[in-house]
Chains A and B, each alone.
Chain A
């Protein structure tokens, strides 16, 4: 697609063409001229102070002043017509499209949105903005009155809310940071600085990584090694490996003091001291790192070239570090607010199209729990496996879980029950038959 064909590109072109010269400044200049005329006449009369000069001067002043006012008027007309051209260009190339305006599902939960914003600011490292925000939000709780009208129209979802409250506690308890946050709408727990301290630690470590200092990251990984290993993360080893490689490269590359703790001897000493704890799990990689010593003079041509390339190594470990750090806090690596708003912008056209169509037909939403239309998102925004029962064409849920039948095919539980004749059923996808008792629920 030609990038110059988008509405905005055309708008920019038109605005540039519109040399918006006619501005109010021209009127100001002409007003200045009138002031000069008046002032000059005043001086003349004040100096002479004779009736004849006065009447002559003030009479002569009439026409030039009138003309000058007329010019100001013209200036204003020009300003107005220039503006109209701007408005026209905006309307033409950036035509107004309606936004969903009748139903604001978020309006009932300003406190939850405030919390999401506060956590977003903290995770972005905007500590001072976050602290101002938390204070302001606590001083002036969200304007409930503003939303009351909408709230009353929205009672069904509130009911559903309460019904599901019990599950809440389980999910909350899993996350370490929020375990202390019993009331999710309470911002004070964020202000208690626990989260801020955590993120401050994360940023200080990331800062170190940026300046190629691995010490703080390694310390953190070691302190959390049990959790990290349980998650199948090799972060500690990856960091230690990079430390070895970095030392190995010597003072010329890493800029550290050229002593016995740097260079190949430094790397070897580091390996002897730290690699034993990884011996069991990473023996082959450690062997590789050790053998590389033999190729030291000419690593670039050796089979170990890859292992010793540090071009993107620090950015890579920084990314894995961020991911692990957030995961241990029970948080996603990228700001959920960012992902949600980006996904929202991507899904919005569909949402609007659908709402319009629904309104035109005068029908209501048929399902409360599920959107009635697809909102395709890029692959990287799909976080869970989705299983759609191939017979019922419905997503499986907790109450209608996926069931695997003996031949290995998977169906929704409800579908399976419908397929059953007595206790037996035939697989819709292959010739095999099975018994209901042999079907088992699976967790995708």
Chain B
């Protein structure tokens, strides 16, 4: 039940929803470093080897000075390319570190508050809501909305627009029937995907095969299968066999499982598999954090009265100084339908106003509220008025109610 204790901020557990805020930048740093390292390894090996060969050949008189210059030009081009790439990784690194700092500072603000009554808590919690809403929008591909909300609230460093926009681009390309972008992403993350046991690359290769068959390019499909299916033969034996069988079936076949393989729906499934792999790889929750916050919050707030057909007498907190009805957030239009699907909160103690009085019509109100309402409504002394129905009574008609 509501008491002072429940207003306290439990710092150990208050940031459960905010974990990806720091996890994701860490993953991105790792990824960025891996890419930088890969570039360096590849280009430096090339340059070192070429330099060595050139020197040897030059000493042995096998290479003319002109060719040495040409080779040096090749090396320079390669090195300048490497520098450009490293520079962009370095910029990315700085921007990720800047995000980490901004996020730690944002989370740290909470450390200075001890109760939810702290006026700064509301501002912090609103910002958290904005973050969750942006996350939700991005996951659904509502990128423009997400960007404009982030700009409006000036919290670009607290949300992961780039990551999700890149993800959305690949998802959309899959939904539109193109595997190129997703395959490029697979090769960027080959090792991590393998460690995860993801079937994404296999599914993409299958889809390429299916599309070739759809276009009637059997020979191309066979050579594609030879090239790409070997590595998957053991782990996806059944699927590979079925695909081999696909060679004997035309796209309009009614025969299962071939009909399913040819189905256009597969593109959407692959898009889902990609999103799942992407989020898992980056340590992101599989569904929007807003969902978690909402299902927990709706339940905690919901009472049996929220979906009752009858207006209760207490649609407002009993401590409220205002007489007029303060609509409960679950009863309010925005969330009422959504909250229908969650269980209501559990209470083991009653929580009612003081000095309850029963009106002849069956409604019960706190004495103080009835008196205040009577005064504000300018009623004759000794008279009162039902706050919901407006029926008029005198105080001597009311009966005391005892809540144990």
Contacts and interface: CB of A to CB of B under 8 A. Distances in A.
A32 B84 CA distance: 10
B215 interface: no
A80 interface: yes
A378 interface: yes
A108 B79 CA distance: 53
Interface in A312-331: 320, 323-324, 326-327, 330-331
Interface string A380-413: 1111111110100101111000001001111000
Contact of A8 (B1, B108, B293, B334): B108
Contact of B58 (A51, A137, A409): A51
Interface residues of A, number: 173
Interface stretch (B128-136, B185-193, B225-233, B254-262): B128-136
A209 to B, nearest CB: 17
Contacts of A368: 343
A326 B327 contact: yes
A360 interface: no
B104 interface: yes
B39 to A, nearest CB: 10
A107 B287 contact: yes
Contacts of B16: 97, 99, 345, 348-349, 352
Contacts of B295: 104-106, 344
B59 to A, nearest CB: 5
Q: Is the interface of A mostly helix, strand, loop or mixed?
A: helix
A69 interface: yes
B392 interface: no
Interface string A64-81: 011001001100100110
B195 interface: no
Contact of B51 (A58, A320, A347, A371): A58
Contacts of B120: none
Interface in A351-389: 351-352, 365, 367-388
A86 B86 CA distance: 21
Contact of B327 (A34, A50, A100, A327): A327
A383 B315 contact: yes
B219 interface: no
Interface in B329-356: 329-338, 340-353, 356
Interface in B276-309: 285-287, 289-301, 303-309
A153 interface: no
Contacts, number: 525
A112 B338 contact: yes
B152 A385 contact: no
Contacts of B332: 330-332, 336
B377 A132 contact: no
Given A62-B51, A90-B26, A382-B317, A28 B294 contact: no
Contacts of B64: 51, 54
Interface stretch (B2-10, B155-163, B234-242, B244-252): B2-10
Given A408-B400, A442-B364, A35 B83 contact: yes
A288 interface: no
Given A8-B107, A339-B329, A343-B300, A370 B2 contact: no
B275 to A, nearest CB: 7
B363 interface: yes
Contacts of B396: none
Contacts of B314: 384-385, 444
A388 B306 contact: no
B211 to A, nearest CB: 19
Contacts of A97: 13, 16, 19
Contact of B86 (A11, A24, A140, A334): A24
B264 interface: no
Interface string B11-42: 11111110100110010011001001100100
A161 interface: yes
B19 A109 contact: no
Contacts of B184: none
A140 B140 contact: yes
Interface string B137-148: 100111111001
B258 to A, nearest CB: 22
A48 interface: yes
Contacts of A99: 16-17, 19, 285, 289, 292
Interface string B380-404: 0000010100100000000111111
Given A345-B128, A374-B1, A387 B294 contact: no
Interface string B76-118: 1001101100110110011001001100110110111010110
B21 to A, nearest CB: 9
B33 A83 contact: yes
Contacts of A380: 317, 319
B154 interface: no
Contact of A157 (B125, B308, B335, B341): B341
A269 interface: no
Contacts of B72: 38, 41-42, 45, 58
B53 to A, nearest CB: 10
A53 B65 CA distance: 8
Interface string A275-302: 0000011100000000000000000000
Contacts of B327: 326-327, 330-333
B208 interface: no
B186 to A, nearest CB: 20
Given A28-B83, A45-B69, A336-B330, A384 B306 contact: yes
A344 B143 CA distance: 25
Interface string A408-441: 1110000000000000000001000000000011
Contact of A108 (B66, B144, B341): B341
A171 B336 CA distance: 9
Nearest to B293: A344
B294 A341 contact: yes
Contacts of A170: 309
Q: Which of A38, A340, A378 has the most CB of B within 10 A?
A: A340
A341 B89 CA distance: 36
B203 interface: no
Contacts of B3: 376, 379
B117 A378 contact: yes
A171 B331 CA distance: 9
Contacts of A266: none
B66 to A, nearest CB: 7
B180 interface: no
B68 A395 contact: no
Q: Which of A331, A342, A373 has the most CB of B within 10 A?
A: A342
A390 B83 contact: no
A162 B144 CA distance: 35
20 contacts: A8-B11, A8-B110, A12-B105, A23-B90, A54-B65, A59-B55, A62-B51, A80-B33, A86-B26, A97-B19, A106-B290, A126-B152, A168-B337, A232-B376, A331-B332, A332-B329, A369-B343, A379-B7, A381-B300, A384-B305
- 10 closest cross-chain pairs (CB), A and B: A344-B297, A336-B329, A281-B378, A383-B328, A385-B314, A344-B293, A376-B6, A347-B300, A24-B90, A349-B13
